[in-house]
Amino acid sequence: MLDWLSENWLYIAVPLLVYLASYIVGLWVRRIAYRAFDRWAAKGKWEGNPLVVQATRTPFLAWFMILGAYLAVRVSILDTSTKALADKVLVALFIISVTWVAASLSEKLLRLYIGKVKRLQPSEALIVNITRITIAVVGALILLDALGAPTTPIILFLAAAVFIAALVSRDLLTNFFSGFQLVQGEQIKVGDFIRLESGEGGYVTAVTWRTTQIRGLDGNLILVPNSRLLQSTVINYGRPLKKASEPFRFYARLHLKEVTGLKACNLTELVDTLKKVPGSVIYYHTHNFLEEYQYLTPEPANDFALWVNDELGNEVLGEKLASIDTFGFPTIAALRARIIGVIEDYLSKNPDGRTAPLGREFHFIRSISVILPTPYIAHDLREFIEVLRKVSTDSISFHVFEARLRLQKGVNDFSIWIEDCLGDKDLADKLAYLDPYNYTLEGLRSTIIQLVEKRIK
C-alpha cells in the first residue's frame, strides 16, 4: 500500500489540490460577491437584503465545495463508471441544496411581505406551505430529470393527484378562495357585528382561510365556513357600539299556576278574598290574559273584569275594572288597593247582585315564578337588539312586567340598564314610558327593537 502511494502520490494529491483550490476560490469569490451585494443593497434599502444574505451565505460556499469535488473527480484516475456515479451524486447534492435555499428564502420573503399586509395574515400559513410544496415538487422533478429518470409519468401522476386532491377538498378550496375574497374585498372585518340568514349573529373575532369566527350572543364561538358567508345574505352592522359599563344578562321567567282552593261566587266574596290572598294571586289575575291570549288582543283585561262581566253579567263594574290601568301602579299592593276600591265603591252604591252559576265561580290562582338565567348577554345596544330578537316572550315578560311590578323596581329592566350602564337617559326614558299593556308580547318585542334601532342608526 505504502509502495503504491509513494509511486502514485500525484493521483491523490492533484484532486485534493483541485478541491482545496476550489474551496479557497469559493471563499474569495463569496467575500467579493457579498461585499458588492452589500454595497448595492445599501442603496436600495430593501428589507429583504439581510434575508437573502442569511439564506445564501452558507450554501454559497457549499456550492463551491460541490464544484471542487466535481473538478477533483474529473482530474482523478477513477474509472468512467465511478466518475459518472460521482457526477450524479454531486448534481443531486447541488439541486437539493438550491431547492432548499429557494424554499427557505421564499418562506422568509413571504413572511416579511405578509407581515406588512394585514388582510393576508390569516392566510399566512397556507401561502407559505403552498410555496414550499411547489418549490419542493419542482426541485424533485429537476433532480429526477438530471438523474435520467423518466419525469413525464411522474408529472402526469402529480397532475392527476392535484386534480383529485382539488376535487376531494373542493369545499376547502372554496372556503379558501371565499376567505381570500372576503379579506381582499374587506367585506367582513374583525370587530364587525354581522347577522347571518339563520339568525345567528355576533361580533367577528377572526377571519381565517377556512372559516370566519363569530362570538355568538350566548358567548359561544360560531365558526362559519367562508363559502357560506359569501353565498348567503349577511347583514354587516359594522363596528361595535359603545360598550356598557356592565353587560345586560337576560333572564327568563317561567310561571307555574298553583290553585289556592279559594273561590268567590259573588262580589262580596270576591272583594273579601282579594284582601287576604298573596300578591302573587293579584299578579296572576292581572297578567294572565296578557300571556295566555297574547295573539288575540293587544289590550287585555284583567281576570276580575272578565269574570264580573261574563259570569255575573255586570257590564258596568266589568268596564270599571277593565279600565284600571295596571301600568299606572308601581306595586302590587297599590294595584290590589285600587281593584278593591273599585269593587267596594260599586257595592256601597249598589246591591251585590248576581251569584255566579255552579262551576263558574272565580277561582284564585297563584303564580309561581321560576327565574332562570339565559345564556344571552348584551354588551352594547347592537347585541341587545339581536338578543331581544332571539329570547322567548318569557324573557320579555320578566324584564318588562315582572321586574317593574312584582319585583317592585318601578321601571322595566331595560330602561335601568340603558340609563345606568350606557348613560343614554333619553332612550331609557322612551322605554320606561312605553305602556307594555297596550301591546301583545310579540308587538312589544318589535316596538322595543324599533326604538333602539332608531337610536343607533
Q: Min. distance of Cβ 257 from other proteins in angstroms?
A: 4
Among residues 2 and 358, whose Cβ is nearest to other proteins?
A: 358
Q: Does 53 bind other proteins (CB under 8 A)?
A: no
Among residues 150 and 359, whose Cβ is nearest to other proteins?
A: 359
8 Å CB contact between 396 and 441: yes
Tell me the HSE value of 353 on the side-chain side, using a 13 A CA sphere: 19
Among residues 150 and 199, whose Cβ is nearest to other proteins?
A: 199
The neighbouring-strand residues paired with 255 are: 369
User: Cα–Cα distances in Å, from 415 out to 20, 257, 381, 384, 411?
Assistant: 87, 29, 12, 12, 7
Stretch of 62-70, 371-379, 414-422, 423-431 lying at the interface with other proteins (CB under 8 A): 371-379
Element holding 254 (H helix, E strand): strand 248-264
Among residues 1 and 256, whose Cβ is nearest to other proteins?
A: 256
The neighbouring-strand residues paired with 398 are: none
Residue 391 one-letter amino acid: V
Among residues 19 and 398, whose Cβ is nearest to other proteins?
A: 398
Q: Min. distance of Cβ 289 from other proteins in angstroms?
A: 10
Stretch of 140-148, 223-231, 249-257, 346-354 lying at the interface with other proteins (CB under 8 A): 249-257
How far apart are the C-alpha atoms of 417 and 387, rounded to whole Å? 15
How far apart are the C-alpha atoms of 282 and 365, rounded to whole Å? 9
Query: Shortest CA distance to 127 belongs to which of 175, 180, 165, 206?
Result: 180
Q: Does 390 bind other proteins (CB under 8 A)?
A: yes
How far apart are the C-alpha atoms of 52 and 183, rounded to whole Å? 29
Q: Does 195 bind other proteins (CB under 8 A)?
A: no
List the one residue from 88, 363, 430, 455 that touches other proteins (CB under 8 A): 363
Stretch of 72-80, 230-238, 392-400, 417-425 lying at the interface with other proteins (CB under 8 A): 392-400
List the one residue from 174, 369, 438, 447 that touches other proteins (CB under 8 A): 369
Q: Does 366 bind other proteins (CB under 8 A)?
A: yes
List the one residue from 98, 154, 172, 365 that touches other proteins (CB under 8 A): 365
Contacts 24+ apart (CB under 8 A), 22-27: 22/64, 22/65, 22/67, 22/68, 22/69, 22/71, 22/72, 23/61, 23/64, 23/65, 23/68, 25/64, 26/60, 26/61, 26/63, 26/64, 26/65, 26/67, 26/68, 27/61, 27/64
Q: Min. distance of Cβ 274 from other proteins in angstroms?
A: 16
Q: Min. distance of Cβ 295 from other proteins in angstroms?
A: 4
Q: Does 361 bind other proteins (CB under 8 A)?
A: yes
Q: Is 428 exposed, middle or buried (0-12, 13-18, 19+ CB in 10 A)?
A: buried
Residue 42 DSSP SS3: helix
Tell me the HSE value of 132 on the side-chain side, using a 13 A CA sphere: 11
How far apart are the C-alpha atoms of 123 and 320, rounded to whole Å? 70
Q: Does 309 bind other proteins (CB under 8 A)?
A: no
**Could you give the string, one character per residue 76-115, with x where binding to other proteins holds by CB under 8 A and - elsewhere?**
----------------------------------------
Q: Min. distance of Cβ 121 from other proteins in angstroms?
A: 35
Q: Min. distance of Cβ 294 from other proteins in angstroms?
A: 7
Residue 261 DSSP SS3: strand
User: Cα–Cα distances in Å, from 78 out to 190, 243, 349, 437?
Assistant: 66, 81, 134, 105
Q: Please report, as residue ranges, which positions from 265 to 294 form the binding site for other proteins (by CB under 8 A).
A: 278-280, 291-294
Q: Does 368 bind other proteins (CB under 8 A)?
A: yes
Residue labelled with grid coordinates 433532480? 143
Residues that contact other proteins, how many (by CB under 8 A): 39
Q: Does 302 bind other proteins (CB under 8 A)?
A: no
Q: Does 397 bind other proteins (CB under 8 A)?
A: no
Q: Which positions lie near other proteins, rule CB under 8 A?
A: 252, 254-259, 261, 278-280, 291-296, 358-359, 361, 363, 365-375, 390-392, 394-395, 406-407
